[in-house]
Structure 1
Amino acid sequence: MHQIRRKPGTKTPNRGANEAASGSGVMTEMVYGAVPERGGEPILPKWWRTLDKWSMSCVLILFGIGLLLGLAASPPLAARNGFDPFHYVQRQAFFGGLAIVAMLLTSMMSPVLVRRLAVLGFLGAFVALALLPIFGTDFGKGAVRWYSLGFASVQPSEFLKPGFMVVAAWLFAASQEINGPPGRLWSFALCVAIVLMLVMQPDFGQACLVLFGWGVMYFVAGAPMLLLMAMAGVVVLGGMVAYSSSEHFARRIDGFLNPDVDPTTQLGYATNAIREGGLFGVGVGEGQVKWSLPDAHTDFIIAVAAEEYGLVLVLIIIALYASIVVRSLLRLMRERDMFLRLAGTGLACTFGVQAMINMGVAVRLLPAKGMTLPFVSYGGSSLIAGGIAVGMLLCFTRTRPQGELGDLLRGRG
C-alpha cells in the first residue's frame, strides 16, 4: 500500500470539526430557514428559488378576479360617461400589467437597492402630498387627493404608504445600533406630518392606515405597552376633535351609527346587494347594484362580487388576502435582519388592513372610508402602488442565509 505523504506543517483534517460545522449549518437552516448561497448563480434562478411563490400566485389570482369583476361592474359606468363598454376594464388591465411588472422587478432587487429607491420615492411622494392643496383637484368628490394629468390622475398618498413603511423601518433599525440616530423620534415626526396632511384633504382612511402601519412596526421594534395605550388614547381624542370640527367626518360617523340605512345611499345599495347574493349569487351579469352604485368598480367592488357570485367568491377573496399576510409574517419571523423584519411587517399588515377596511365598509362593520380593495378595485394609482408595495414585501420575504447559530448565541447576530 502506498502511504500518502503530506507537506511539512500541514495539519490532518479534523473529521469531527467538519461534521460539527455541517451540523451547525443544518441546525441554522432548521431554525432560521436559511438557504446556502450558491456562488455565481444567475439572478432569475436565484430569484425563483428564494421567492414566496404562493404569495405571488395569490396576488395574480386577485388581479384576475379584479378583471372578472370589472367586466361586470364597469360597463354601466362607461355607458353613463359615453365610453366603450369595456373602457374601464381595458384601463384596469393596462395599469394592472404595469403593476405586475413593477412587482416582479422590485421583488428581484436586493433589499439595499429597494431601500434606496424607497427613500427617493418617499421624498417625491411627500413633496407631492404637501403641494396637493395648491395644484391638486378633488374631481367633485369634496377631497383634494389627486393630480390631474389629463389622460390620467395620480394619488400621491398611495405611493407614499410603501415608501414611508420602508423609511420608518430603516429609522427604527438604525436607532437600535450603537450611537445610532433617534430613529423612533424621527419616524414619529414623519408619521405625524403625513397624518396631518392627509387629514387636511380630508382623507381619514389613509391617515389611519399610515398611523396603524407605524404603530405595528413600533410594536415589533419593542415599544412599551403603556406608550402604545397612550397613543391609542390620543387617536381616540383626535377622532373626537375631528367629529366636532369636520362636517365630512361627522356625516360618515353619523351614517354608520344610524341603525336605519337609507336604501338610496351607497351603503344601502351595497348592503342590499350582499343580502341578495346569498351563498352562490344571482348569476354572472345578473346583478343590479352596478347600475345604482357610482363606485361599484372601486370602493364597493366586493358588493358586486357578493351579489353575482355569492358568499363563496367573497370567502375566496378573504382567504387569498389572509394567505399573503400570514405567509409573509411567518417568513419574517425567521428573519434576523431588523430592517427587513420591520419593513416587511409594516407592508404586510398595511396591505391586509386596507383589504379588511374596504370589505368592512361594504358590510357596514366600519364607517365609509373611500379605500380601494388592493389588486381588485379599479384605479391606476392604487394598482401600481400596490404592485410596488407587494414587490417590496416579496423582496423582503425571500429566503436568504441567516448566518451561523453560534453567532446568534454569542450575540454577534
Structure 2
Amino acid sequence: MKTIFQHIKGDKTIWAIVAVLAIFSFMPVYSASTNLVYVVGNGSTLGHLLKHIVLLIMGFAIIYGVHKIPYRYFSGGSVLMLPVVIVLLVFTMAQGTTIGGANASRWIRIPFVGVGFQTSTLAGLVLMAFVARYLARNKDKKIVFKESLWQLWLPVGCTLALILPANFSTTAIIFSMIVLLVFIGGYPLKYIGVILGVGFLSLLLFILVAKAFPDAMPNRVQTWQNRIENFSSGNASENYQVEKAKIAIATGGLTGKGPGKSVQKNFLPQSSSDFIYAIIIEEYGLIGAFMVVFIYFLLLFRILIVATKSNTVFATLLVVGVGVPIIFQAMINMAVAINLFPVTGQTLPLISSGGTSIWMTCFALGMILSVSASREVTEEDILDDNPLDILHETI
C-alpha cells in the first residue's frame, strides 16, 4: 500500500474525494439499473454494475496516467488536438449512432470495446486548454479584438457550432465556462459583451434555420422548446421523467427507504444516469442528498486551492477551465432531478453510469492533479512550448 501511495502525486484530498464518489456510485448504479433490465430488457443488474466498475477502474487508470504528464504539455497539446476534435465532431454528425434511443449524432461507437464515445466531452477539455493557452500567452499584451477573433474565437466558434445541433446543453455549458475563463484571464469586458451578443445571435440564427429546414435537424429545436415549456408550465403530467423523479424525492424522506429499495427506479427512464440523483434521494433521503452536494463542493474547494497555489497563469486557468465544469455539470444534474432546471441530459460526474462522461471527468481530474503535482514549472516553460516539439517528444 505504501508503494502505491509513493507513485500517487498531487492533491491527496482530490484523490480521496474521487475514490469516495466512485465507491458510493456502486450501490445507486446497481439499484437503478433494474429499469434497464426489467423494463428495457437490457442485460442484468450485476452485469451493469460490473461494467460500471470496469469503466471506473479504466477512469482511475486515466487519472493516474494523465497526472504523470507534465501539465505544460497540455498547452501545446491543445493546439494539436483541436483539428482532431473538429474532424471527430464532423464524423460524429455524419456517422453518429444511437445510445439507448438517444439522439443519433452525439456518439460514435468505439470498435472492439462496445462503449459509445461522446466527442463533445473531449472537445470541451481541448477548448478549455486552448483558451487557457491563449490567455496565458497574451497576459502581458494588449489584446486586439480583431486578432483575437482569428486566434481564439474562430476555433472556439467552429467547434461549438459542430456540437450545437445535437447537444445544446453541452454547448451552453462549454460556452459559459469559456466566458468565465476569459473573464478570469483578463480578457476585456467590452469584448466579452460583444462575444455574448454574437453567441446569442448565432443561437437565434440556428433556431430560425432549423425551423425553416426541419428535415435537416429533425425534432432538435422542438425538443428544446417542449422541455422549456413543460418546465415553465409546471405541468408534470406532460413530462414523465420529471413526474417520476418528484415521486422518488417526495417518498425519500429524511433518511430514505434504504439502499436498493427504490420503487421509482422501475419506472423512471435514465434512472442510472441522468436521474440517478432522484434515486439517491429516494434511497438515502435528504441526508444522503446533502452529503453528495457537500462532497462536490468539497471537490470544488480543493480545485480552487490547486488553482490559487499554481505558479503559472496557464496552470491556474487550466485548473479552473477543466475543474469548474465538473461541479457545474453536477449542479445542473441535481437541479434537473429536483425540477429546478429543464431536462438537459447531463450526467452526475463519477456517479452516473456511462463511459465517456466517466473517462473525460477522470481526464480532467488527471490534468488538475498534474498541476498540483508540479511546483517548479515557470511561465516561460509554458509559453516556449512548441506543439511540434511536443509531437516530436511523444513520437
Regarding TM over 0.5, the answer is yes
Query: Structure 1: how far apart are the matches of 2:250 and 2:196?
Result: 34
Residue 256 in 1 paired to residue 220 in 2?
no
Q: Do the aligned partners of residues 126 and 240 (structure 1) sit closer, same or farther apart at CA in structure 2, a change above 3 Å counting?
A: closer
Aligned pairs for 1:335-350 within 5 A: 335-350=310-325
Q: Which runs of 5+ in 2 are unaligned?
A: 212-220, 379-395
- In structure 2, the residue matched to 1:392 is 367
Partner Cα distance (2:193, 2:26) in 1: 41
- Residues 184 and 67 of structure 1: CA distance in aligned 2, closer, same or farther (over 3 Å): farther
- Residue of structure 2 in register with 1:363 after alignment: 338
Q: 2:297 is matched with which residue: 322, 339, 348?
A: 322
Contact 1:296 1:304 in 2 (8 A): yes
TM-score (norm 1): 0.80
- How far apart, CA to CA, are the structure 2 residues paired with 1:76 and 1:274? 17
Contact 1:172/1:187 (<8 A) preserved: no
Paired residues of 1:162 and 1:347 also in contact (CA < 8 A): yes
Q: Does 1:188 align with 2:147?
A: no
Asked whether the 8 Å contact 2:25–2:352 carries over to 1, the reply is yes
**Could you tell me how far 1:400 is from its partner in structure 2?**
1.1
The secondary structure found in structure 2 opposite 1:78 is helix
Q: Relative to 1, partners in 2 of residues 1:123 and 1:243: Cα closer, same or farther, differing over 3 Å?
A: closer
- Residues 347 and 82 (structure 1 numbering): CA distance in 2 closer, same or farther, change over 3 Å? closer
Are 2:63 and 2:366, in contact at CA under 8 Å, matched by a contact in 1? yes
Measured in 1, the distance between the counterparts of 2:355 and 2:230 equals 29
The structural deviation recorded for 1:360 is: 1.0
**Is 2:70 the partner of 1:107?**
no
In structure 1, the gaps of 5 or more residues are 1-41, 404-413
Report the equivalent of 1:174: 137
Deviation at 1:97, TM superposition (A): 0.6
Tell me if 1:279 matches 2:240: no
Change (3 A) 1:184 1:324: farther
Partner residue, 1:19: none
Counterpart of 1:332 in structure 2 is: 307
Matched residues, number: 359
- Aligned ranges 1:199-210 → 2 under 5 Å: 199-201=164-166, 203-210=167-174
Question: CA contact under 8 A between 1:212 and 1:350: conserved in structure 2?
Answer: no
Task: Answer whether contact 2:265 2:279 (CA < 8 A) is retained.
Answer: yes
Identity of aligned residues (%): 23
**Residue among 63, 66, 87 paired with 2:22:** 63
In the TM superposition, what is the alpha-carbon distance from 1:320 to its structure 2 partner?
Answer: 1.4
Which residue of the partner structure matches residue 148 of structure 1? 109
Counterpart Cα distance in 2 of 1:84 and 1:44: 35
Which structure 2 residues correspond to residues 217-236 of structure 1 after superposition, within 5 A? Answer: 217-236=181-200
CA offset digits 1:7-33 (Å, max 9, x no partner): xxxxxxxxxxxxxxxxxxxxxxxxxxx
Tell me the distance in 2 between the aligned counterparts of 1:383 and 1:222. Answer: 32
Q: After the TM superposition, which of the residue ranges 296-305 and 138-147 deviates more from structure 2? A: 138-147
What do residues 214-260 of structure 1 show as CA deviations (whole Å, max 9, x unaligned)?
11110111133344344445555556666664212111111111122
Q: Is the 8 A contact 1:328 1:397 kept in 2?
A: no
Given candidates 92, 98, 101, the residue that maps to 2:52 is: 92
CA contact (8 A) 2:94 2:105 kept: no
Residues 135 and 187, structure 2, Cα contact 8 Å, conserved in 1: no
The answer to whether the Cα contact below 8 Å between 2:249 and 2:278 also exists between their aligned partners in 1 is yes
Q: Report if aligned partners of 1:76, 1:85 keep a CA contact under 8 Å in 2.
A: no
Name the aligned partner's letter for residue 250 of structure 1.
Q
| Inter-partner Cα distance in structure 2 for 1:162 and 1:330 | 20
Residue from 124, 129, 144 that aligns with 2:84: 124
- Report SS of the residue matched to 1:277: coil
Select 1:81's aligned residue among 34, 41, 54: 41
Amino acid at match of 1:111: Y
| In structure 2, C-alpha distance between the alignment counterparts of 1:291 and 1:161, rounded to whole Å | 33
RMSD, aligned CA: 2.7
**Contact 2:306 2:368 survives alignment (8 Å):** no
* C-alpha contact 2:254 2:285 (8 A) present in aligned 1: yes
Give the CA deviation at 1:64. 1.1
Which position in structure 2 is the counterpart of 1:268? 243
Bigger mean CA deviation after superposition, 173-182 or 287-296: 173-182
- The residue that corresponds to 2:385 in the other structure is none
The answer to which of 230-239 and 110-119 deviates more is 230-239
Tell me, yes or no, if structure 1 residue 216 matches structure 2 residue 180: yes
Q: Distance in 2 between matches of 1:183 and 1:171?
A: 9
Please give the alpha-carbon distance, in whole angstroms, between the structure 1 residues aligned to 2:261 and 2:141.
63
* Preserved CA contact (<8 Å) 2:311 2:375: no
Q: Encode CA deviations 1:271-313: one digit per residue, 9 max, x unaligned.
A: 1111111211112222111101120001011011000011111
* CA drift at 1:337: 0.9
CA contact (8 A) 1:158 1:385 kept: yes
